[in-house]
């Protein structure tokens, strides 16, 4: 027969809390490491011809499906030099806060897609805990040529 002891209950509760805390800290450390690795890739990645072709195919499919824009990619706003503040508030120079390859996407649009009538925008697409979360990069086009 097992006896119930309040000291044991508190000890078990403390051990369970310590385990949950350790798991949460490990998950947070893993998340930070993944974000750091992703940030490094963002800064060093060069857009390839295959990347451009893949994006163009996605734009064509969205256009043919009757869409008016395509979210090309998303990334954590933490990677922006201002945490996404300029993008969120539609402030001048927001495009200059785009990190690494995302700024290169903007330049690609400016050089190749804008002359063809496409638009470019970036928006905060979610607000976890009330704070800016991911930034979406969108390529858009008019509904008609009129």
Which tens digit of pLDDT belongs to each residue from 35-58? 888 888 888 999 999 999 999 999
Which tens digit of pLDDT belongs to each residue from 114-129? 999 999 999 999 999 9
Locate the domains of the chain by residue range.
1-44, 48-140
pLDDT at 3: 85
Which is it for the CA torsion 66, 72, 78, 84, positive or negative?
negative
Q: Write the DSSP symbol of residue 74.
A: E
Instruction: Quickly list H helices, the chain.
Output: 6-44, 49-64, 85-88, 100-108
Residue 146 pLDDT > 80, yes or no? no
**pTM for the full model?**
0.79
pLDDT level of residue 70 (50, 70, 90 thresholds): very high
Cα–Cα distance measured from residue 137 to residue 75, given in angstroms and rounded to the nearest whole number: 9
Reading the block at residue 23, the tokens are 């798991």
Residues with Cβ within 8 Å of 144's Cβ and at least 6 positions away in sequence, in order, are: none
pLDDT level of residue 109 (50, 70, 90 thresholds): very high
């Amino acid at each position: 027969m097992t006896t119930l002891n309040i000291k044991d209950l508190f000890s078990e509760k403390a051990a369970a809390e310590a385990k949950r805390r350790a798991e949460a800290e490990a998950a947070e450390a893993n998340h930070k490491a993944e974000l750091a690795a992703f940030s490094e890739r963002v800064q060093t990645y060069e857009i390839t011809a295959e990347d451009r072709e893949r994006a163009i195919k996605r734009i064509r499919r969205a256009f043919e499906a009757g869409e008016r824009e395509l979210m090309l990619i998303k990334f954590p706003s933490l990677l922006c030099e201002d945490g996404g503040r300029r993008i969120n508030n539609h402030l001048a120079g927001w495009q200059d806060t785009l990190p690494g390859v995302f700024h290169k996407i903007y330049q690609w649009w400016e050089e190749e897609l804008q002359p063809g009538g496409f638009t470019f925008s970036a928006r905060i697409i979610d607000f976890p805990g009330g704070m800016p979360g991911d930034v979406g990069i969108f390529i858009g086009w008019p509904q008609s040529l009129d």
